[in-house]
Chains A and B, each alone.
Chain A
Amino acid sequence: PLTLCFPQVLGWRVAAAVAWSVLLLPVCTAAFVVLSGLDPFHPLRWISNSFNDLYSSYVIFCILLISVVILVISIFNVEFYAVVPSIPCSRLALIGKIIHPQQVIHSVVHAVMGMLVAWCAAVMTKGKFQFLAVACTPSESLDNAVPQMCLNEYHLFFLLSGAFMGYSYSLLYLINNMNYLPFPIIQQYKYLRFRRSLPLLVKHSCVESLYFVRNFSVAYYFFGYIPKVWISTTMDLHIDSKLHPLDTLTGLLDLSLFYHAWLCGVFLLITWYIAWLLFKIYATETHHFPVQPTFAEETDQCLPKILNSNPPLVIKFLALQDLMLLSQYSPVRRQEVFSLSQPGGHPHNWTAISRECLSLLSDLTQRLITQQEAAAANGRAKQPAGELKVSPQTPGAVVTEDMSFQSQRSNIVPRASMSSLVKSSLMPLKTLPGSDVGSPFSSPALNCKMGILDVNSPWHGSAQSPHLIRRGPKLWTSGSDLQTDGSQHESFPVLSAARVGSEAVQPSFIYTWLQNKQEQIKNFLSKRVLIMYFFSKHPEASIQAVFSDAQMHIWALEGLSHLVAASFTEDRFGVVQTTLPAILNTLLTLQEVVDRHFKLPHVSSKPPRISGSLADTSYKTLRFALRASLKTALYRITTVFGEHL
């Protein structure tokens, strides 16, 4: 799908990735040929033989064939990639993913491709592995003059091991979420990134191939006779009785067979992983989106447009990454963001960018709140909801109330189901960023809020001038009468609306009966261990699922905060000032919600140890990155603006 929407961005990247992986194939093949002919006792003969083999028509044909395999693998990589990983929350969901038709196709195709690669490997290895059908060893009786064709079990073993490895690769691809495209934490040139990952890739392939061969040997020991008999009957081949059958212990304890199967696995995995790695590197490369279109046709490709439209997710990720980079490194492009439109003088670029970032962040806030409410409803008898209602004594809550009061005036009806906190956070975003500037209340409210932030973080209190904190309460008292009756006015209707809403869905008798039954069944099932095993939600996984796309929010936070910090000196027209209250409000609300999220039960406060594996597991720790960058973003804005806030 991505090539259709943005051929200029991604089509070339995919093509380049495929081209490079095909170009690297001869190197891998040469290494394979050299290693497969390993003969430590005759090194000279070994080297000369393998160099002769490199030019043979077999090898060249195999390279062509494997290029096709690489192409197919790359197509699957492109079709299956995701910038937001899908995390199965329970074991049943994982099984569901495995037997999903899409995944079944993936596995079958990979198994076939694995078999093809194994065939090529067998042909290139030569020796006893080369052909499926070989002449039987002549029997001693000599009465049978016609040479019979026998099944070469070594070859069959190779082919089946290839298929097994292809299938295992596909399975691990799913389980380890290898279709996830992690964006690197630092920018680097593609060659350097590739070089950096290569040793890990080789090591990982070697180890994994070892496991695959072991598992396959066990499988072949038990089930090897089935394909053997089947092939020999369909192709009318005999089974050589002189040779040891391979599905016995003595047959499998063959060092040369083991070595070659392992080498074949390493070859297969390395070529496939290289294709995968190159695709990952190319796809996550930064892309420069123009901020201001130079020509009219380019309007669709410039940054504000892309952020506000709904492009494929990867394009949105790239756009946000570009926003983060430009806000951090490029003064010239920042200037374009802060510029006014030529006729009219509206800050369209900034408005579009900030609106999109803020709506992203408030979406996250809302999602977290619903998740927290669900958690509270499950476990702790809805205490947090009570806390929210009680809080008017604390200044923070009053501020939120009063923000919502203010937003009431801008004629947006709050949804009754949401808590007051959500309302307050969402309102200023839905209104146009400039609209609440006129209201005299917005800046004192924020001042109060900043004051609260100061109280929470003592170090900041010392950095900021003390008169701000002194001023905070004063403003606060002056506005208190306004805001108390305001909050009373608006909280009553909301509460009553909620009550009406609950009465409207007054459940009927049958409904309650059904619900009771449902509960009973649930209780019954939950006592069965096996079912619980499959259905139980892994708490860590469900938290990871909530934060699975947090990379977007991290970039939005970084981009926004860097832009705001830079605007202190670079924004000549003052376009950022108008949105500053909304930005701070959103960030602080999110901060509050994220803090509360980390206090939930089952939430570990430390990132898990990351093993140095090839598959990137950074999606598991995104929430910690989000928390850190949120704090940093807040501090960045407040240290730059300091006493001006």
Chain B
Amino acid sequence: MCSLALFPPPPPPGDITLYEFNNALVCGRLYEQLPLAFQSQLADLPGLTLPKETLKAHSRLEHSTRPAFIHHRESLWKRCLSAWRDVGLCGVLKEIAGAEEEGLQWVKTGSSYALAVCHWLSSLHGSLFPHLSLTSEDMIAAFSQAVDWAGCTIRAFAWHPHTSKFAVALLDDSIRVYNSNSATIPSLKHRLQRNVAAMAWKPLCASILAVACQSCVLVWHLDPTSLSTRPSSGCAQVLSYPGHSPVTSLAWAPSGELLLSASPVNTAMLVWDVSTENCVQLQWFGGGGVTYLAWSPDGSKVLAATPSAVFRVWEAQMWTCERWPTIKGRCQTGCWSPDGSRLLFTVLGESVIYSLSFSEYRGEMQGQVGGSKTASIVADLSETTFETLYGEERIGGEVHSMVWDPTGERLAAIIRGKRCLRPACPRVLPENPPSSRQKGRKPRRGEESGREGSTHPPSFLPVTPLLRILRRGMCPCSLPASSRMNHLSQPPCKVSVFPQSPHYAWSPTGPLGSVSRSSPWDNRVIQGSPGRAPL
């Protein structure tokens, strides 16, 4: 088992991890030149600064156009009819109960009783699944893989699986697509593109981006040769299904044919054939919804987390599933090893990473997931104290999001934990930029080590996400003898691994409190290229 004590302490204040060289992570200032060896490898991706002030969030709070018009009193029947269309039965009952017309006393009392029964039933339902009582925006914020989804400038981030291109969903509900070999930056806007929770590029395709929005899934077809900076909404396909909103997670099949979408309020996850807009519901009652999906890179299995303390692993050929109850809380995040034989997941309320291994996938075992009996703990990320030159620092906590890189060597994790600086620490000022530091260490064989990132906002910022990159062996079963630790110092809100080995890039972007806005390194996408570590 691996613990944080094996990691080097965080980098000094103001520094960030730039790249990995000779099996060591190098920290420095952002503007430092990369070594020549990396400059050719690293596609010249733009470093972008996205200050929050320029992004205007939506001012309209209501979905309908009603506030724009003068209020007009209609007859009760018309109002009931429109309430039925808009809200459904509850709306009609509410409309009748609140009617001011005379002479309908018994109808009014009847409907107010019926409304009370409805409320009671829904509260009963809500007590079974508390997340159902949230508004859809809060729900997205609770289940999104982005830390501080509601306040962060960048709400979702997605690398293209085949080329140096990435999409960034911003606070103002627009999406920008940056491409290394093109100067045009398309900005995608759509009427239905609100509260983006996740994005995913279609594999084996140049230009299709699926976006999980509040009410639907949008599939953008972006012609890579197009010079338009504002693709029309005609380029987007709308995939919607009644009762399937908000969508919080998306997963493309690695073979590129199917798209999965999940919503915390719908117990079914939907399998879309995007080109024909056909969908199949994969219904499995229990759990109250599906919050997070992860398709294994070999395409054989899918992890589906639910809002309650259970998650499921689907087998992607005959679509049967195995149910995994967890002890403490819901499954927060998970990731697959490149060969799909091992699943790492974390549970809300526990600062450990669990591992589940699956029997090797063969086409003959139809309809069996083949998971092992129990999950084992592979890493303990509970709070650890580091002695640094700048005082003692404590790092550790629950993992918010994880990704495993395609070669199977690195694991990046965002830790959401309380940062406590000892009072003796000389540097408590909130204005201090994040620090980072690295130190080499050799853990024993069979252990993981990695990088950790940390920021130094003071202790009054309750939740500080950390980025931690654990290193694993080429083959997940035999972990490497030598390994390295490192820090990425920006508090990231979304992790994403650059898909083409040997480059990696993480996208740490700051949650914008009043604290870190003073830092010059806020809101940047930083490319670090660890290079190929000599093994």
Contact = CB atoms under 8 A, between A and B. Distances in A.
Interface centre among B275, B320, B362 (most CB of A within 10 A): B275
Given A187-B317, A331-B363, A459 B224 contact: yes
A473 B255 CA distance: 32
Interface in B330-385: 362-364, 367
Nearest to A562: B255
A316 interface: no
B224 A457 contact: yes
A631 B182 CA distance: 22
Contacts of B182: 458
B273 interface: yes
A460 B206 contact: yes
A305 interface: no
Interface string A322-345: 000110111111000000000000
A7 interface: no
Contacts of B234: 606
A189 B367 contact: yes
A635 B256 CA distance: 10
Interface string B211-228: 000000000000011000
B162 interface: yes
A412 interface: no
Contact of A628 (B163, B225, B275): B275
Given A187-B317, A458-B225, A632 B277 contact: no
A294 to B, nearest CB: 16
A76 B354 CA distance: 56
Contacts of A195: 283
Given A189-B320, A459-B224, A462-B164, A621 B362 contact: no
B258 interface: yes
B194 interface: no
B275 A462 contact: no
B163 A636 contact: no
B41 to A, nearest CB: 12
A364 B231 CA distance: 32
Nearest to A193: B280
Interface string A614-645: 00001001101101110110011001000000
A462 B280 contact: no
Given A329-B363, A459-B162, A639 B275 contact: no
B364 A330 contact: yes
Contacts of A331: 362-363
Interface centre among B160, B317, B318, B363 (most CB of A within 10 A): B363
Interface residues of A, number: 44
B274 interface: yes
B432 interface: no
B386 interface: no
B427 interface: no
B257 interface: yes
Contact of A610 (B162, B224, B258, B277): B277
B109 to A, nearest CB: 22
A42 interface: no
A618 B205 contact: no
A460 B161 CA distance: 11
A639 B318 contact: no
Contact of A463 (B163, B257, B277, B317): B163
Tell me whether chain A's interface is mostly helix, strand or loop, or mixed.
helix
Interface in A158-196: 184-189, 192, 195-196
B276 A326 contact: no
Contact of A189 (B160, B165, B318): B318
A574 interface: no
Interface centre among B163, B207, B276, B281 (most CB of A within 10 A): B276
Interface string B446-459: 00000000000000
B318 A187 contact: yes
A558 B275 CA distance: 15
Contact of B162 (A621, A627, A639): A639
A460 to B, nearest CB: 7
A632 B204 contact: yes
Given A332-B362, A458-B225, A607 B163 contact: no
A186 B206 contact: no
A186 B204 contact: no
Given A458-B224, A459-B163, A459-B165, A629 B257 contact: yes
Interface in B250-275: 255-258, 271, 273-275
Contacts of B278: 185, 610, 618, 621
Contacts of A632: 204-205, 255-257
Nearest to A461: B181
B341 to A, nearest CB: 15
Nearest to A331: B363
Contacts of B362: 330-332
A459 B206 contact: yes
Interface in A542-596: 558, 562
A607 B273 contact: no
B275 to A, nearest CB: 4
Nearest to A627: B275
Interface of A: 184-189, 192, 195-196, 325-326, 328-333, 456-463, 558, 562, 606-607, 609-610, 618, 621-622, 624-625, 627-629, 631-632, 635-636, 639
Given A332-B364, A628-B257, 15 more contacts: A186-B271, A186-B280, A330-B362, A330-B364, A331-B362, A456-B225, A458-B181, A462-B181, A463-B500, A606-B234, A610-B277, A610-B278, A625-B275, A631-B204, A635-B205
Interface of B: 43, 160, 162-165, 180-182, 204-207, 224-225, 234, 237, 255-258, 271, 273-278, 280-281, 283, 317-320, 362-364, 367, 500
Across chains A and B, which 6 residue pairs bring their CB atoms closest together, nearest first?
A330-B363, A628-B275, A329-B363, A621-B276, A459-B163, A635-B204
8 contacts: A330-B362, A459-B160, A462-B181, A606-B237, A609-B277, A618-B276, A627-B275, A636-B255
